Amino acid sequence: MSAYIADQTWPDEARRLNALERALDESTCRHLVRVGVSAGMRCLEIGAGSGSIARWFSRTVGPTGQVTATDLDTTLLEALPGECANVRVLREDISESVRLVGEGFDVVHARLVLGHVAQPERALTNIIQVLRKGGVALIEDADFLWSDVGEQPLYPASAALAYFPVWRAAVDYMHRRGYAVHWGRQLAAAMRSAGFEDVSGEAVILIGDRALQGSMALTIKRFAPALLQEGSVDQSAIDACLAALEDHPGTTFTGSPVFSVRGRRSR
Ligand SMILES: C[S@@+](CC[C@H](N)C(=O)[O-])C[C@H]1O[C@@H](n2cnc3c(N)ncnc32)[C@H](O)[C@@H]1O
């Protein structure tokens, strides 16, 4: 069973997920259009979170299509089937469950999910098995590239000085708790090893995106109690980091790359 580090018990988790959706949906939908999502298709959204992509699938496949939205915790998805007649919601752990094998989905999508899974390779094998032959998976995962380099582009420089040490402590914390902070760069090779064919993709770095900057502030707030408890940063460092992210009107934030990789099931 997966132990997800950012579960929905945190009161602001819906706000954090909504900010991520506002930042990332445009790019994701562009990729899904390129993959060929269209009316009448059967689509699976894994780790659907707050459900914006499941809603997009619902509108795009229309009444003749079907959408399945899964998550470890489906609390934020409960309203979906009432809103969209072609959507069903299932509580599923993608690293364990193969309940959907044989469903023959045309398209499967998972964003910012596999990096959290203890055995992402096994999850990829499960994903192949729920696709129809010829079906396509689009998998998207971040890569905390800047934590290696020792800085994250955030201007002015004073904002970066306040932001980066706390972000670095948060990355280390997430890594120790099982999050694969560099999974994005490994994704294409892992998909090939899992048996996907025609594997290709691209990575996007958002620059100056206020929604992404807001989601980062919420991520820092979410992990702040744990960082304070382990003593890796103190309250004044966290306050300075949040002020740099939230309050500085001239701050320009450059996000971590998000890798979007597609692959086809051929057999
Ligand atoms: C960072 S959120 C991303 C949510 C959504 N995919 C998005 O990009 O807006 C990660 C989501 O994956 C779910 N999740 C984590 N581990 C999972 C697993 N093993 N199986 C299914 N869902 C999982 C979490 O509950 C959470 O909703």
**Which pLDDT score is estimated for 220?**
96
**Stated pTM of the model:** 0.96
Cβ neighbour number for residue 151 with a 10 Å cutoff: 13
CB-ligand 1 contact for 20 (6 Å cutoff): yes
Question: What does the pLDDT look like over 49-90, one tens digit per residue?
Answer: 999 999 999 999 999 999 999 999 999 999 999 999 999 999
Question: What does the pLDDT look like over 182-204, one tens digit per residue?
Answer: 999 999 999 999 999 999 999 99
Mean pLDDT value of segment 138-161: 90
CB-ligand 1 contact for 47 (6 Å cutoff): yes
Give the phi and the psi of residue 53 in degrees, each rounded to 5: -75, -35
What is the strand order of the sheet 258-264 is part of? 87-91, 66-71, 42-46, 105-111, 131-142, 258-264, 197-204
**Which pLDDT score is estimated for 193?**
97
Question: What does the pLDDT look like over 253-265, one tens digit per residue?
Answer: 999 999 999 999 9
CA–centroid distance, residue 158 to ligand 1 (Å): 33
CB-ligand 1 contact for 142 (6 Å cutoff): no
CA–centroid distance, residue 71 to ligand 1 (Å): 6
Mean pLDDT of the chain: 94
pLDDT at residue 1 tops 80: no
CB-ligand 1 contact for 179 (6 Å cutoff): no
pLDDT band at residue 247 using 50, 70 and 90 as cut-offs: low
pLDDT at residue 27 tops 70: yes
